[in-house]
Structure 1
Amino acid sequence: MPATPRSRRLGLVSAVLAPLLGVAACGGSGDNASTSSGTQGATSSASADSRPASAVVTDYLSYVGGKTGKADSSLSPVGLGWVNVEGAPGGSPEATLGAKAAVKYVNEQLGGIGGHPLELSVCTVVSAEEEGQKCGQQMLGDKNVSGIGIGNLYLGDASFNSVVAGKKPVLVGVATGPSIATAKNTYSTFGDLPHIFGTWGTYSRDVLHAKTAAVIHTNTPGDKIASSAAVMGLKAAGLTVKSVGFDAQATDLIGPVTAAGAVSADVIVPISIGSGCVGIAKALKQLGVNKPVVSTPLCMSPDVAQGLGGDLPTWTYGIAQTLPTDSTAADSKAFLTESAKAGLSPKTASQVFAPLGWSTVLTYAKVFNAIGADKITPATVTEQLKKFTGPVIMGASEVECGKYQDAPAVCNDQSRFYQYQGKGQFKPLTDWIRPPQ
C-alpha cells in the first residue's frame, strides 16, 4: 500500500525535528498524564555541549563572509532554488518561511552576496510524487539558479532527483525523502533518518544501560520505516527489541503498549504524533509504567500537551540539532534573535523545519560569498560543497559528507538528547553522540 503524504511525513521526519516554542505556552497546572513514565536514571555526565567555540555559529556576518548593510538592488540577483512540500495537510510551510527569512536577513543585514541581492526561486510539491519532476525541471530550466535548497521533500523526492540527477548541487538540512541520501551531488548537513536514529541505540546503551527496548509506533507505511530504523539502531547497540504497531485511529493503546513489552522493557521508544503520543502516554500511566521513555520530537507539540491536560510528557527527546529552546545554547539564542529581525515569529522559528531552512540558506550564502558573485555556477558551487566541513548553524561540530558508501549524501550522524522537565523547560542530558560503534 503506498504511503499517503501525511503518513510518509509522520514517519520520515520523526527523528530529527525541533520542537515548538508554543509548548511553553501550553504548560499549566493540569494533570500530566505521562508523569509516571519519566526518565529515572536518564542522566549523563556529558550533558554539556563540548563543541569548540569555532563550531558554535552566533556571528552570521562572519560566518557567511558578508559585509554590514543592505544588498545593492541595482545589481543583478544571485539565484537560489528552493523545493519544499507544502500547500496541503502534512506539508511544512515553515521550511519555506525559514528560508525566506534567511534570504531577507542576508539582503538586509549581511550585504547580500558580494553586494548582489540573493533571490529565492521557490517550487512546491503539494500532494503528488510526480510534482517533484515539475520542480526538478523548473530548477534546471532557471539559468540564474546554480544551487538548490530543499526543505522537507518527503514526497516527490524520487521524481525530483531523477530529473536533477546531479546536474546542479542540492543542499538539504534533513534528508526526509528516502531517495535523497543516495542522490547525486546532494549534501545533507543534518543527516537522514536511519543514521540519526542510530543514536537512540547509543543513548539507550551508554546512558541508560538498557538491555531491552519496546518500540511502539503508528501502523502507517511511513512510521513503519521510522520504527525499522529505530529498531536497527537499538539492535546495533546490543539491545533486545520488540516493536508493535497500532492503528492511527486507535485511542486506547493499552493493548499495543503491553504487547510491545513496555511493562518490563528497560527503555520505551514511541514513534507517533498527536493523538498517538497522547494514547501512549495515557497507556503508560494506566499501566503504572515508570521506565525511561526516549521519544522523537514530534510528540512535542501543543496538541499533545492539550491532550494531556496542559503539558507535554516528561520524556527524553532526541534531535539532530541544537534545541531552539535550549537556554544554555548560544547558537539557539542567536538564531531566535536574528531570525526575528527578518520577521520570523517565535512560533514559526521553532516549528519543525524553519531553523533548517534558515541554516541551509545561510550555508549557501557562505558558499556563494566564497566563490564570488560573478563566478557562481553549478560547477563552482559543487566544488565548494564538496569541500564543506562545517560548521553548520545549530548543528554538530563535524560534517563529513560521503562517510557512508550506502548514503553518500549524508554528512551528519549525530544527535543530542534533552529531558523535558515540564512547563516549557528542557535540560540537556548528553553531548553530541553518534550511532553505535
Structure 2
Amino acid sequence: MRTLFVTWDGPQVSYVESLFVPIFEGLAAHGYPVDILQFRWGDAAQEEKVRSVCTASGIGYRARPIWRGVGGLGPFATALAGGRAITAAARHFGSDLVMPRSLMPALATLAARGLDRPIVFDADGLQADERVDFAGLRPEGAVYRILRDVEAQIIRRSTAVLARSPRACDILLARAGPPVGSQRFHIVTNGRDVAAFHPGDATTRLAVRDELGLPADATVLVYAGSVGPQYRLDQAADLLRHVRQRDHAARLLVLSGSPADAASALAAAGCVDGTFTIMRSAPADVPRYLAAADVGIAFRTPSFSMQAVAPVKVAEYLLCGLPVIGNPEIGDNRAASSAGVFFDSAAGNAAGADWVIDRVRADRSALRDTARRIGVEHCSLDRAVRDYLGVLRDIRGSEHTSGQSPSLG
C-alpha cells in the first residue's frame, strides 16, 4: 500500500526532513512506502534540500509553489487549484491512499477531482484555532468559518484521522458530528530516532560545552524550536534569572531556525548579554548540543488549541537525557511527570529554579538515565512507526475483507 503525503510549508520549517522522513523510511521497510507532495514557498535551494533528503531516503518528492498575496487569497487559490496536483501526483506515484497534513492540504484534497482513493487526515493539531489564539484570526470571520468547514468535511470524507492527543480526538469527533464514530480516530507519536538523540558521554558533553563557550560546571538551560509569542521565551528568560540567583554562572542556550527573532525576544524580556547563546544549528548537531545541557525548556502559552499538540522538542529532550520544565497538559507527559523528570511550570519560575538546582543538579546522573528511559519508552521513532503502521494495516485489512477500497463517507 503506497501513500501520498501532502503537506504545506514555509521556508522556516524543516519538520518534513527531520520528523516525517525517518517515519516514512520505517514504514517503507515494512512494505508501506510513502511519497511527498509539498506545497511550499521559499527559495529554490530549500526545495532542493528537501528533494535531496527524500531522494536519499528512497521517498518520491514533488513540490508546488504557494501563491501569496492577492489580499490573502493566494493560499486559498493555491489549495483549490492544488487538487489537480494531488490527482496527478497520486497517479504518478501509484498511490493507494492520500494523507493530507493540516487544513490547506485538506482543502486541496477535497478539491481533487477523480481522487478515488481512501483519505487519511493527519490533523496534527487544531490549525484554525491556533490562528485565533496566536495569529489574530477572528473566530467570527469568514476565514475561520471556511477552515472549520474544511476540517469537518475532511474528517467526514476520511477513512482514518490521526491526532496527537486524546483531547484532540474528542474535539474533532464532536465537530464532525454523526455518523463519524470514535473508531475513526487514532493517536500517533511524534517519535525521534533513539540512536541519533542520546545523552552521549561525559567527555563529549564537556567538549560540546567548550565548543559553545559554556562553563563546564554551570547550569545550562536549553530551548530548541520555533520562536513566537506562544513559545514564551520571556518566561525562559525569567527562569534563567531565578536560576542565576542560585548559580551565577548559569546560561541559556537557544537553538532556533530564527536566531534574530530569538535575540529580539530575549532582549525584550531583559535577558542580559553574556548569559545566553543563540545559534542556528545543523539538524545533525542538535542532539549533542541538547545533551550538553542540564534541563530542557518547553513553555507554551496555555490555550484551547494547545490541547491538540505534542511538542517534538519534549521527545528530543528526554531522549538526550534532559529533564524538562514546561506545561504537562500540552501533549501527553504523564509518564515523565510521574518519573520526576517533567516539572510543571504552573508552580512558577522560583519553584522551577529550586527544582533545577536542588533536584536536577543534585542528582544529574540518575535523572539523565530516567529521562532517557522515559524517552525510549514513549517517544521513540520505532513507536511512531508502529502507530502509523497500525492505521495503515487496518485500512489494508478492510480492503482485503471487502474486496474494494473503504468508503470515503
Measured against the shorter chain, the TM-score band is 0.3 to 0.5
Per the normalisation by structure 1, the TM-score is: 0.33
TM-score of the superposition, structure 2-length normalised? 0.35
Which structure carries more helix by proportion? Answer: 2
Structure with the larger RCO, 1 or 2 (CA within 8 Å, 6+ apart) = 1
